[in-house]
Amino acid sequence: MDSFIYLLLETLIIGLMILGLYATKKHFGVGLLFIFIGTMQFFQTILSGNVYNLYFDVFLFSPGSTLIFISTLFAVLLIFRNESIIKVRSAIYGIILSNIILVFLSYISLEQILSDNYSRNTTFLAEIFNFDITLFFTGIILLYLDMILIIFIFRYLESKFSKNYFLQFAGATVVTAILDSFLFYTINFYSELNYSEMMIGNIAGKVLVCLILSVLFAFYFVINPQKENKRKALKFKDIFMIINFTTSGKR
């Protein structure tokens, strides 16, 4: 139960940070939220390879990594819900580029560690900076597709259930999270003996975080009706402007 309490506390902190940074955009702009999301990507990488907990004596997953991945999707939805397509595009490609740059910097740091004997804690640092490049590129491609897919699902649910904020956020994120876990573990670990255990644990963790953050985000919009989205409803074809660089992305 202690591990669940820690996960709940961690989820609330990250969720409140995202909502808080977005709520202060009038004073600081939305850039602070972009920076927060980008910097959390490195933390996710460290946690995904080192920190795991067993939940309810059944599900094993990395709590911090799972949380940061899902919170990234929620941040993208928050930006999409109220901002211009150009800002959504900036957020998505900023996240992808920050992950790619992270790998190159980590590789350089690893070579610096191994180049001589002056570095400290070399074994620990080498484990942190040593990436499985196949897993990374699989993950980054899926993350990009996840962010595009979740916007389409969210837009559909928004059009059908305009006042049910919980269903909008939970439906879009849960479907995307399950699909992401299935594809990632099937592509990379299908031949492993514990393939099902790893995938189910990861799905359980993501769904749990999705539900907690959905409650938090829905509550935020219920108590802040002034934050209600007043933009003209997007058509599905408008969403393609995110990947179409021949358009300005204004709406």
pLDDT at 235 > cutoff 70: no
* Phi, psi values for residue 118, rounded to 5°: -90, -15
Rounded Cα gap, residues 249 and 104, in angstroms? 30
Cα Rg for the chain, rounded, in angstroms? Answer: 19
Where in the chain are the domains? 2-242
The DSSP element (H or E) to which 54 belongs, if any, is strand 53-55
pLDDT in tens, 148-194: 999 999 989 988 898 899 999 999 999 999 999 999 999 988 888 88
Mean pLDDT of the chain: 83
Band (220; pLDDT cuts 50, 70, 90): very high
pLDDT at 57 > cutoff 80: yes
| 14 within 8 A of 25, measured Cβ to Cβ | no
Exposure of 21 by Cβ count < 10 A (0-12 exposed, 13-18 middle, 19+ buried)? buried
Closest Cα partner for 76 from 59, 60, 93, 54?
A: 93
pLDDT in tens, 74-124: 999 999 888 878 888 888 988 888 888 888 887 888 788 777 777 777 776
Band (246; pLDDT cuts 50, 70, 90): low
Q: Which range has the worst mean pLDDT, 1-5, 187-191, 205-209, 239-243? A: 239-243
pLDDT at 1 > cutoff 90: no
Angle at 192 between CA 191 and CA 194, to 5 degrees: 135
- What tokens were used for 118? 């002056």
